[in-house]
Amino acid sequence: MQGEEERTENRVRRPGRAAEVILFLILILTLVTGRIFQWMMSQVSLNLDEILYTLKHPVDGTDPGFYWSIIRFSVFPAAAVFFVIFTLQHFLRGREGGSASGPGRKKPIEQELTVAGGAGSSAGHPARWRRMLGKWLLPVCTAGAVIFCAVSAWQVWTKLGISEYLRNSRQASTWIEDQYVDPEDVSIVFPEKKRNLIYLYLESMEVSFSDLSSGGIFEENYIPNLTKLSGQAQDFSGPEGGKLNGASSWKYTTWTMGGMFAATSGLPLKIPIESDGFDTNYMSTQDTFFPNITTLGDILQEEGYENDLLIGSDATFGGRRLYFSTHGAYEFYDYNHYAEDGSLPSGYKVFWGFEDEKLFGFAKKRLDSLSKSGKPFNLTMLTVDTHYPDGYTCRLCEDTYGSSYANAIACSDRQVSAFLDWCREQEWYEDTAIVVSGDHPTMASFCDGAPDDYVRKVYTAYLNPAKEPVRNEWREYATVDNFPTTLSALGCEIEGGRLGLGTDLFSGEDTLTEMTGRTQIDHELSKSSLWMQKQANVEPLTGDITYDPYDEENHVLSFTIRNVSSDKVDGFRCCMKMYGYRTSSGKDYIKWISAEEIEPGVWRAQWTLPVDQAYEGIVKLQPTCMVDGARSNVLDLHFYHLKYDAGGGNCEWYECDSKGRALKS
């Protein structure tokens, strides 16, 4: 009997320690990765283009909430599950081996009880059950985590249409250029007395936020004031009213810069964002932004308008400063402007810069000044408090709904309404058209409950327009239609009723959405467009970089940069990361430095590496361009393989790729 017990013990012996460590690593990695995929699934409004755009764009000037939401959703729950499994495995190992006998060793008392007859029957089975559970718990949980990760990956692959994205990106389409109406070829006649324009972009504001009876998806109406406003303004919902209408967002218009670009140019922001593994969202290092197109800002500037952009963040982020300076010579009143002129307290910064309460206060002062200039004006504004993922609740916000995002939406609704009420009281209001429009649908999970057949649209309303629509009926339109419709609201007569890919909604012309359908349009937009690449005229950022040999005596890595192709680059912020060199916090050693301009147009960066512990691993050097004081594009990546003893002696090194493979000389 004892021999049989020993054979059973051998059959249920757990994996060795090395295998156990590997299984634990696979477990935590697949749990975290699977949760990241689940996070992507939870972001119902996100598509592959905006995910890539957001993740690849430099984070300077942004609110870190986007990245924090990923960590909160993925890492914390995965760590909790991992901790439970690890603790249970440790408990079973202890119960099986005992504190004295150690893991994998038999307990003599259990052996004796087994031989003892009746007592062995009651004690032997639980011991055997614990051994079996101890053997299979970790492998089964790891297998389950791998399956969970694989299923989540497949769901993301299917939902984001990655197969279609890859397939379509290899196909060319002329649809955009075939449909495009160049404003330079169209007669646009302004009225004798030009009307002012206030264009108010509301961050992530959707029709969906209203209640069911108003065309939204909620029992509660989170935007009652904006709902009431639409009844007094024009949203192209037809004579019956009652339900809000708004603009849909085509592919490549579903983030802030994409939405603003669409509404002012009539085009989707379709630009390459990756080439050879590097970020090629080079807009911040260009001299111009789509220089060959004509936009709303260009047309207004030509007609003598004063163009201003007022936002509560850094205008440089996402290419906004470049775009609005290229098209319309806008003056910028952003976070940096008010921080520098003393309007904000020293060091003041909340969320992305400053909150909407201050935005509307600054707007009132600016409008007072513009109204006295004697020139027609265009004040373009962008709110921020309703930004993904949770919004920002300021001192004016009420804790009504138990949701930070819902409270931020409701607070924005009240603040926008109060600002528009103030506008109505001003002498210049009768000569001013106001466009209130969401920039894009929210990226938050707030609208997860939307029915599958519900079309989410951004809030859209035209206040005090110079015209009534020719077709007083429900219209299907997109944010690109705001381009000609805004000019029409100012009283302009537009030959043919179309500009860019947009249609004047005050005219009798069909929109492309009405003629073609949203699904077919997005299908065409997903294909490559040589015409759009030509219009973008994006020049890749280049530079000559000389990487020096590792200085074994002084433990220094360095490089020199020359001949940078863009004069907008005013410096370099450079990162050195040592993979596997653990700091006291248990993380890889990372050190950022600013490169020194040793002579005009020549920058040098060098790091003294830590050698207080032995090291063998890969070191990454990453020079990143600085534009207007903010980090922009990564210029290059370079790797070294280093090995040395504590103190830096017995050093071996070579230049390598990201996998550690030695580079050919």
Rounded distance, CA 72 to CA 658, Å? 28
pLDDT score of 167 more than 70: no
Strands 196-202, 377-382: parallel, antiparallel or unpaired by DSSP? Answer: parallel
Please report, rounded to a whole number, the percentage of residues in the chain having pLDDT higher than 70: 83
Give the pLDDT confidence score for residue 485 in this predicted structure. 98
At 92-144, the pLDDT tens digits run 766 555 443 444 444 444 444 444 444 444 445 666 777 777 778 788 888 88
Question: Average pLDDT for residues 605-609, to the nearest whole number?
Answer: 97
Strands 432-438, 196-202: parallel, antiparallel or unpaired by DSSP? Answer: parallel
pTM of the full structure? 0.70
Owner of token pair 């402007």: 337
To which CATH superfamily is domain 183-265+294-500 assigned?
Answer: Alkaline Phosphatase, subunit A (3.40.720.10)
CA–CA distance from 562 to each of 543, 571, 639 (Å)?
6, 11, 19
Rounded distance, CA 51 to CA 189, Å? 40
What beta strand segments (E) does 583-614 contain? 588-594, 596-599, 602-608
Domain range 544-656, CATH architecture: Sandwich (2.60)
Give the pLDDT confidence score for residue 153 in this predicted structure. 81
75 pLDDT tier (thresholds 50, 70, 90): confident
Strands 544-547, 556-562: parallel, antiparallel or unpaired by DSSP? Answer: antiparallel
Nearest Cα to 57, choosing from 276, 279, 343? 279
Give the pLDDT confidence score for residue 163 in this predicted structure. 63
Strands 602-608, 615-627: parallel, antiparallel or unpaired by DSSP? Answer: unpaired
Strands 630-634, 615-627: parallel, antiparallel or unpaired by DSSP? Answer: antiparallel
DSSP 400-419: -SS-HHHHHHHHHHHHHHHH
Give the pLDDT confidence score for residue 126 in this predicted structure. 64
At 405-456, the pLDDT tens digits run 999 999 999 999 999 999 999 999 999 999 999 999 998 889 988 998 999 9
DSSP 61-116: TS-THHHHHHHHHHHHHHHHHHHHHHHHHHHHHHHHH-TTT-TTPPPHHHHHHHHT
Extents of the domains making up the chain: 2-169, 183-265+294-500, 544-656
Residue 184 neighbours by CB under 8 Å, 6+ apart:
294
Rounded distance, CA 559 to CA 343, Å? 41
For residue 308, what are the β-bridge partners?
331, 379
Return the ∠ at Cα 258 (arms to 254 and 259), rounded to 5°. Answer: 70
